Amino acid sequence: MTPSQFISTCTADAIDQAAAQLRAGALVAFPTETVYGLGADATNKSAVARIYEVKGRPQDHPLIVHIASMNDIEKWCSEIPTYAVALARDFWPGPMTLIMKRSPLAQDFITGGQDTVGVRIPNHTLALALLHAFKKLGGSGIAAPSANRFGQVSPTTAQAVQEEIGNYLQLHDQIMDGGASEVGVESTIIDCTHEHPRVLRPGAITAQMIQKSTGLSLLENSNDAIRVSGSLENHYSPKAKVILDSIATSGQGFIAPANIQTPDGAIRLAAPRDTDEYARLLYSALRASDSQGISEIAVIQPEGEGLALAIRDRLLRASRGR
């Protein structure tokens, strides 16, 4: 099957067709501001099972439910603390996932058998249009992890999705092309099951932003934390070995801020000018190393807190290999 049979443009008809295909049990890969997601009707057990099959994802690894509006939180969550509402008002649509106690609608095949569920509203025109079209057809939410094989580098373009999972898709599945993802790393995941919020995965919504929104201090992460997407020690990994805080030698790939020169013989994969651009370019740079057959990548990590912390989190996991 050729890529053109999967990848669709973002016309109104294409969005309506994709929503209908989701309701019929097909998979639809779609762009968000973070990365591309692989979507299925979050209430359809067999469709969700195909997400796990296509990704090669462990069955106990929960999925995030993407919803069309804040009013849909109550469909999926049974206990909604006041500070979670404040976060939703401040940062949705946006790169933030909230974990709360699940409602009866959130079944084990979505939650990985846990009593919690993750929900978010993505900040991407196409994703929102798809979610609203899906809701008009009676859909409650779209389950969508990143559209890649489990543990590998998340895709930030439709072509990367095609290269990663195209061979695993079926005739009625689709990949929607909405351009390159703007943020480039996955959403901040916030545990909202305690009196104070707790960050389970760092992202573009930072600890400082969360504290300002809620007026609360953050709980420290701990070993009893809820299982969430991207929380394994080794994740986001290219085929190449990733070496942190190292200047590249000849033949190695090199990812570093733009003000650091490329050593002789090194293969420059990305030269971001700031932290936002670093996040936006990171996964495409790691994927480029695979396409070029590079065996080792030296990386100079960004300094600071906020989004830089999220980038270092992804790079640390990538450095541990597949």
Q: Are residues 202 and 287 in the same domain?
A: no
Domain end call among 197, 214, 231: 214
Give me the pLDDT at residue 5, please: 53
**Residue 232 within any structural domain of the chain:** no
**What SS3 state is found at 292?**
coil
182 found inside a domain? yes
| Domain co-membership, 72 together with 139 | yes
Residue tagged 């929380």 (tokens): 231
pLDDT (tens digit per residue) in 240-282: 999 999 999 999 999 999 999 999 999 999 999 999 999 999 9
Dist. CA 117–CA 98, nearest whole Å: 8
- CA distances to 56, 246, 267 from 42, in Å: 18, 43, 42
Q: Is residue 229 part of a domain?
A: no
**Rg over CA atoms, the chain:** 19
CATH number at residue 113: 3.90.870.10
Q: Give the pair of three-digit tokens for residue 142.
A: 């779209």
Of the chain, the end-to-end C-alpha distance in Å amounts to: 28
Question: Which residue type, as a one-letter code, is found at position 94?
Answer: G
User: Beta strand 96-102 with 188-191: parallel, antiparallel or unpaired?
Assistant: parallel
Determine the pLDDT at residue 297: 98
Asked if the structure places residue 222 within a domain, the reply is: no
Q: Is residue 52 part of a domain?
A: yes
Query: Do 155 and 44 lie in a common domain?
Result: yes
Q: How far apart are CA 22 and CA 43, in angstroms?
A: 11
**The predicted structure's pLDDT at residue 3:** 45
What is residue 122's DSSP assignment?
-
Domain's final residue, options 214, 232, 259: 214
Same domain, 156 and 53: yes
Q: Are residues 203 and 304 in the same domain?
A: no
- Enumerate residues 6+ apart whose C-beta is below 8 A from 32: 66, 122, 123, 124, 127, 144, 181
**Pair 203, 277 in one domain:** no
Indicate the number of domains in the chain: 2
Say if residue 77 is in the same domain as residue 181.
Answer: yes
The C-alpha torsion from 19 through 231 and 277 to 39, rounded to 10°, is -10
181 and 78 co-located in one domain: yes
Positions of the chain with pLDDT lower than 50, given as ranges = 1-4
Do 305 and 207 share a structural domain? no
pLDDT at residue 233, as a whole number: 67
Domain-embedded: residue 314: yes
pLDDT digits (tens, 9 = 90+) for 126-167: 999 999 999 999 999 999 999 999 989 999 999 999 999 999
Amino acid present at 92 = W
Element (H, E) at 20: helix 12-23
DSSP 233-283: SS-SB-SSEEEES----TTSEEE--TTSPPPTT-EEEE--SSHHHHHHHHH
Q: What is the DSSP string of 161-204?
A: HHHHHGGG--TT-EEE---S-SS-SPPEEEE-SSSS-EEEE--S
Residues 210 and 84 placed together within one structural domain of the fold: yes
Number of other CB atoms surrounding residue 245 within 10 Å: 12
Query: What does the pLDDT read at residue 231?
Result: 67
Beta strands in 59-140 (DSSP E): 64-66, 77-79, 96-102, 116-120
Q: Are residues 247 and 134 in the same domain?
A: no
pLDDT of residue 151: 86
The whole-angstrom separation of Cα 27 and Cα 48 is: 9
Domain boundary among 195, 214, 233: 214
Range of the domain at 188: 3-214
Q: Is residue 224 part of a domain?
A: no
Domain membership of residue 56 (yes or no) is yes
> pTM for the whole thing?
0.94
Angle between helix axes 158-165 and 275-291 (nearest 10 degrees) is 40
State the pLDDT at residue 259: 97
Q: Are residues 92 and 157 in the same domain?
A: yes
pLDDT for the residue numbered 6:
66
